[in-house]
Homo-oligomer: A and B are copies of this chain.
Amino acid sequence: MIEAETALAKLRAISKTSAFNEWLGLEVTAASEGSAELQLVWRSEFEQYSGFLHAGLIGALIDTACGFAAATIAVGVLASHYSVNCFRPPVAKIFIAQGKILKLGKRQTFCRAEVYGDVVKDERLLASGETILITGP
């Protein structure tokens, strides 16, 4: 069993090694065995052409929340596939992404993430997605 504080410290250390996560200002706000939560504070630099959060950044949140959820347990985590569902216009002051493992495998791990706007409730579920990660030594 991995302690939440250990998992959180580990993910924050990983996130700091990614220049793009640093540019985003992505913050790891929670972690436990098999799950992770991220927060992204809105900046106008993130806009696509309608003024919404760029779909690539929704993907970045989903891919990262999934990868971090896997990294709390698995080693050698590398995304090989991810998908993104866009449910509502991605407009918020803070985007919250929650990732969790669906199935931990020897060779592949499946994760799922949800992206909320400002608060974690159904009416503010903006997007969801899934990631398949190659895991293992």
Q: Which residues of A contact B (CB under 8 A)?
A: 14-15, 17-21, 23, 44-49, 54-57, 59-61, 63-64, 67, 78-88, 102-103, 105, 107-108, 110, 125, 128, 130, 132, 134
Contact = CB atoms under 8 A, between A and B. Distances in A.
Contacts of A46: 19-20
B82 A59 contact: yes
Contacts of A132: 80-81, 85, 132
A67 B50 CA distance: 13
Number of copies: 4
Contacts of A14: 49
A102 B83 contact: no
Contacts of A107: 107, 134
B82 A83 contact: yes
Contacts of A18: 47-49, 54
